[in-house]
Amino acid sequence: MTMYFDASMIIDDIWVGSYEAARNVAMLKKKGFSAVLNVSLDDRMFSEYPHDWRLLHFPLYDGDAIPAATFREAIDFLVLCRSERRRTLLHCAAGVSRSVTIMAAYLMKIKGMSPADALLHIMERRPEAAPATYTFNSAVMWVYGKTTFLCRTCQKKWRYTADYIYRYEGYGYLAETGHETLCQCEHPQLEIN
């Protein structure tokens, strides 16, 4: 069995990871996990987990908007697991988009982070994070009721688009995306109210 564990601690002992991490039950036990929030399409692993673990599954398709009721139940679950001091794995297939979006919703809703700060917080701990634009913006809409924010630093508008990730990774600005009027600050200070 490989020792590689494809999950990253983000905040409050909530780890974002891949299906590979979720199926490694021995490793999850060894590392002290006792809760799993699965937002991939496949929940066959649930029968393998100990009976006293908390488990929740939402089959989400990547690229789609996530329903408000799903965000509410998912964040309630994470808060409950936190209150019970459970180490929790939040996973999708790759730990790149769907699970990252749920994690960002938690950071915005529970921790009061701006969308940009939530993303940066996750990417600093899980560099492969790269949520689909429409999926991520459904979290932003759920928390803030809008997807565009004023940046206090540059006075331009900030909105999450996929090229935000490319800028973060140093690929430079993609002019052909047509978002040239948006904020491009590395650490934008967003007016969130």
Q: Which is nearer to Zn ion, 54 or 159 (CB)?
A: 159
Q: Which of 154, 162, 174, 192 binds Zn ion (CB under 5 A)?
A: 154
Annotate each residue in 94-133 with x if it binds Zn ion (CB under 5 A) or - if it does not, as one string.
----------------------------------------
Cα separation, 140 vs 129, whole angstroms: 16
Nearest-Å Rg of the Cα atoms of the chain is 17
Give 147 or 153: the residue with its C-beta nearer to Zn ion.
153
CB contact at 8 A, 118 and 3? no
Q: Which is nearer to Zn ion, 55 or 192 (CB)?
A: 192
| Active site (annotated) includes residue 92 | yes
User: Does the protein bind Zn ion through residue 182 (CB under 5 A)?
Assistant: no
- Give the three-state DSSP class for 191: strand
Sheet architecture: strand order including 14-17: 7-11, 14-17, 87-91, 33-38, 54-57
Under rule CB under 5 A, residue 150 binds Zn ion: no
Q: Indicate the helix (H) or strand (E) that contains 73.
A: helix 68-83
Q: How far apart are CA 142 and CA 19, in angstroms?
A: 26
Which residue in 5, 153, 157, 179 binds Zn ion (CB under 5 A)?
A: 153
Residues with a known catalytic role: 92
| Interaction site with Zn ion (CB under 5 A) | 151, 153-154, 183, 185, 188
